[in-house]
Chains A and B, each alone.
Chain A
């Protein structure tokens, strides 16, 4: 190490900075200068989140050494706008909804700015190519490209009506300005005085015994302040162990997984964690930890792992849910069955029966923001060892109350001692529902008496944060000549990774849930292997099942000589039909959706460009597939407080991943009947509101929206009482409309919200706070159908998407821009599953933990995702809304497989449908 001083101009200001050779420009900008708008997504120049302009040229600041920049001029997102004046480009991103989580947004805007400076009037293709180095995982690229094109060509923003209800309007996001200027603070942006930086030592083996673990040398390194190993994590309380099986994540397994004790069970499992005064020192300390591993045989492939002679991941795991062999340890954690009617009888009534097996790969949620958390344990309030003072945790989480519950269960801390504060979150998709680093930060903070921060690297994110489950699914389906399904038998085998808990049942039921099945039987296998422990990923389990079922339905339709949409119309579930588990569907929009697809040019028209002369090896084809998601509800709490001027402040317990603050604000505005501008909304922390589950399972607008609606209704009811007292009538004589309380059938002007607000604070009436909470509601299932046109290069196996249309029943589009963004983002993720993404293992060792070889789609890999919104109002949701986030990820793999089949006559039954796999299938090998 030899430090030197550099002179660097950043956003016009000259800085003399003392840097180490290995400091990157990104580290200097963020850590030294506090310019948090520049984000680290991968550390290797593969994602573009750290893009800054160096002498006007966009570069990845994560792979520029600070020492190289001596004398250079840097522009970060903070330097783009002049004062509070946004650039037209930034405004276009707001108007067109060109961001969702906002984490990749500063990089994209800087890239676009530099590009437009040189190419003021670009084509769509040129914009796509310019942005190819900037990954967006949330909303895909549709709205991003359109925002850039609009800024270039001076297009007007999509129209917005003034006045009238807020719901249904394309209101700009409440967090829009913060997201396009880089001011939004995400997990890694938290800094506290005296903060330590911790790094986790991870297993290089998929399965090994830890024979020796010695931290002596690491602890002796100057700057190292503390370390924790598995042995340092306190034991679970008996009541937590007893309740473990009932939790979303089994707490005992969760506790074991935090840091390995005697054995490591998957690549990347944590072994020890070290806190030091700087990240470089923490990293050096990891190299000084001595670990001796004895490699053990690996249970890798899920089907192999099910065999009796497979190496066991857990020598004491017995199969639950079945009597068969349940006394012998096995990697099969559970076998659950569900069914209805007589499947064999159904097959006897069938004229067409098809049985096939489908396989899907391990995938990652791919959020651009790696997990990041800071914990500060109040050491002074810790009178005895093992006694807890106050602990505050700032973390990028999908659910701060869930995170607090997990933390307190895992570390045996009373709930009231812990405050979890959610930061802005850079995407989650189910992958940020589980605490991994937070407990380590808390333990280290308690041990060192200083705040401790952990930020994962992209490699760690791939290895140790809970990817999506791989699956092997066998479907046998029978139908009569009239096109009606008679029976379906499904065997769903999901790979849970190192601990039980794959989403096999959720997947299987949503996979078959779209069809009226007089007879069905599903067997669900949850199997452990020596792979990273899987966690929820957007519509957990459903995309895997939809790939199998929807490919299968396409084959059934063809065998019956029916149009693929028509076949589905004949079998589509409708209101009153039983869901798997036999409860009836309430109002759903699947039939309406299929009617719309059947009549739509995306389905009925010619394939665009198919006539172009591309040579005999290029074959066009069109496919479609559906998807369904039951919709989560869980628990929600919201408050609506009347302010002194008659405006309303809402607070909710669900973090905002996708713009839900804005949607919930629209619900509140319309419930009060006041302009959206008179409502503010904030996400609370765990000390300042009632319990809410996280933002997951497409539940936020539906379930939290209902809580907000109820909180507003509660406030209005209280205010009616206030108005009645002031107007000297009974409360039931008071009508409320659009911000005014009036006596029924009276011509008097009544009292406005502003009048009552004033009285509440300054005339002695007292504050008004409405509460809304719920923990049970009928779910509102959502359905989607996607139509895709592809071109298959028969010589190389490469599949190109020509056109993509996503249809979805959203109940009521609270904010159409945000709804479309979800549909487009979900489709883009599903396209990634379909064509290019997937973990590659060699004896359990992950071969591609980077965005280079884990290939998420770039702007050049997807066409515009056209959206068709169908609105069949949900009976119970706020203003008829349904959750919209999950279902659009389910159809794409099957839709694309079906299109490839139509193009080539060959059906792909394994994901991803990479060029080589397609080529082999075409060659029949």
Chain B
């Protein structure tokens, strides 16, 4: 493994000061389940590894008075899964956090680390996009909040600058009559990386079967996790039935721009977007007890 220096700040101020002063690449370390293998394999060679797990703000897992979830960037997936309250209010987040690695990995890996790693296949990203999550980023000038939609830049890249640190992810309260589902395609059941991942989220109108809002997010089919906005637009405001879902699924497939790599070809991936969009939307309706 390449050599590096290790630092563990105990406050956000210390961390920011360190980022401001230090020459050379600094990589924040949460669970390390991506970072340490990357350093070992020489894919990353930071001068510094900054362990962020002792910063209190990054370890929050709590709901505010409005019902929004504040999820510190260093909170391991296992804590999210273990929280009954998260499961009750944001089942979609629990579903995706449960799919990361095996139990050993989930005891270390955080959602914050998952999105900062910037992999287009990050399992939690489609869920966060669907849930309308925001990121709180500590900058040298104070905190900035932005939608998670603007967080990703490209494969392995985010819009965080080298002087910034992801502090937490905020998920707004779930509207009533809403449900989400994430499905991914992997050759193995567990311990695998999504060939394609699709999350769908449906919010029904106050009464009846009409869909007030639909969100569809795709993983591993574009340089970043993306929303399938044309498919979403098609569904919003309509009563969802099989034909419409088929059409939305086709639209979503058209919004994907996948590549061919060792995990799957572009056209198989596009096809999977269609299948998984249909299945996730159908599952949402089943959760909401809407008959088609």
Contacts and interface: CB of A to CB of B under 8 A. Distances in A.
B262 A57 contact: no
Interface in A47-68: 48, 51, 54, 57-60, 63-65, 67-68
**Looking at B4, B105, B264, which has the most chain A CB atoms within 10 Å of its CB?**
B105
A133 B188 contact: no
A855 B262 CA distance: 12
Contacts of A59: 104, 107-108
Given A45-B101, A65-B6, A67-B6, A132 B49 contact: no
A301 to B, nearest CB: 16
Interface residues of B, number: 43
Interface in A257-290: 280, 283-284
Contacts of A509: none
A222 to B, nearest CB: 14
Given A1-B3, A858-B189, A58 B103 contact: yes
A133 B105 contact: yes
A45 to B, nearest CB: 6
Nearest to A54: B107
Given A1-B3, A48-B102, A64-B32, A855 B188 contact: yes
A45 B187 contact: no
Interface string B171-212: 000000000000001011111110100000000000000000
Contact of B268 (A840, A852, A919): A919
Interface string B264-281: 110010011001000000
A499 B120 CA distance: 40
Contacts of B190: 129, 132-133, 858, 860-861
Given A132-B189, A133-B105, A280-B3, 17 more contacts: A4-B6, A20-B3, A45-B101, A54-B107, A60-B108, A63-B32, A63-B36, A65-B6, A65-B49, A68-B8, A836-B188, A848-B262, A852-B191, A853-B262, A861-B189, A915-B187, A919-B268
A62 B103 CA distance: 15
A4 B49 CA distance: 14
Nearest to A837: B187
Contacts of B8: 67-68
B252 to A, nearest CB: 15
Contacts of A914: 187
Interface string A830-868: 000001100010000001100011010110110000000
B263 to A, nearest CB: 7
B49 A21 contact: yes
A653 interface: no
Interface in A90-138: 111, 114-115, 129-134
A803 interface: no
B103 A115 contact: yes
A835 B6 contact: no
10 contacts: A21-B4, A22-B3, A58-B103, A65-B32, A132-B103, A133-B103, A796-B185, A796-B272, A858-B188, A860-B188
Interface string A881-925: 000000000000000000000000000000000111001100000
A21 B5 contact: yes
A860 B265 CA distance: 25
A63 B33 contact: yes
B105 A45 contact: yes
Interface in A127-175: 129-134
Contact of A60 (B5, B104, B265): B104
Contacts of B53: 68
B65 interface: no
Contacts of A22: 1-4, 39
A284 B40 CA distance: 12
Nearest to B36: A63
B67 interface: no
Given A858-B188, A858-B189, A67 B51 contact: yes
A111 B104 contact: yes
Interface of B: 1-6, 8, 29, 32-33, 36-37, 39-41, 49, 51, 53, 78, 101-105, 107-108, 185, 187-193, 195, 262-265, 268, 271-272, 275
A459 B40 CA distance: 11
A858 B190 CA distance: 7
Contact of B188 (A48, A861, A920): A861
Interface in A1-23: 1-2, 4, 20-22
Contact of B104 (A1, A133, A796, A798): A133
A114 B103 CA distance: 10
Nearest to B1: A22
Nearest to A842: B262
Given A58-B104, A65-B49, A919-B268, A852 B187 contact: no
A44 interface: yes
Contacts of B263: 853
Nearest to B98: A129
A48 B49 contact: no
A43 interface: yes
A133 B37 contact: no
Contact of A45 (B6, B37, B192): B37
A44 B40 contact: yes
**What are the nearest 7 A-B pairs in CB distance?**
A133-B102, A132-B190, A21-B6, A860-B189, A44-B37, A63-B36, A57-B107
Contacts of B268: 916, 919-920
Nearest to B6: A21
A827 to B, nearest CB: 17
Contacts of A68: 8, 29, 32, 51, 53
**Looking at A4, A67, A283, which has the most chain B CB atoms within 10 Å of its CB?**
A67
A4 B188 CA distance: 41
Nearest to B102: A133
A920 B267 CA distance: 10
A560 to B, nearest CB: 34
A201 B34 CA distance: 25
A860 B101 CA distance: 13
A151 B158 CA distance: 46
Given A132-B190, A852-B193, A58 B3 contact: no
A795 interface: yes
A855 B192 contact: yes
A700 to B, nearest CB: 32
**Looking at B3, B104, B262, B275, which has the most chain A CB atoms within 10 Å of its CB?**
B104
A46 interface: yes
B108 A64 contact: yes
A185 B5 CA distance: 33
A132 B189 CA distance: 9
Nearest to A917: B268
B46 to A, nearest CB: 11
A64 B29 CA distance: 10
A857 B191 CA distance: 10
A58 B76 CA distance: 13
Interface string A790-814: 0000011010000000000000000
Nearest to A67: B6
A848 B190 CA distance: 18
A444 to B, nearest CB: 22
A64 B40 CA distance: 12
Nearest to B183: A796
Contacts of A284: 3
B187 A51 contact: no
Nearest to B272: A796
A840 B262 contact: yes
Given A58-B103, A134-B102, A853-B262, A21 B187 contact: no
Contacts of A44: 37, 40-41
Nearest to A57: B107
Contacts of B187: 798, 835-836, 855, 914-915
A129 B6 CA distance: 34
Contacts of A64: 32, 36, 108
A440 to B, nearest CB: 22
B55 to A, nearest CB: 14
B156 to A, nearest CB: 16
A924 to B, nearest CB: 14
A233 to B, nearest CB: 28
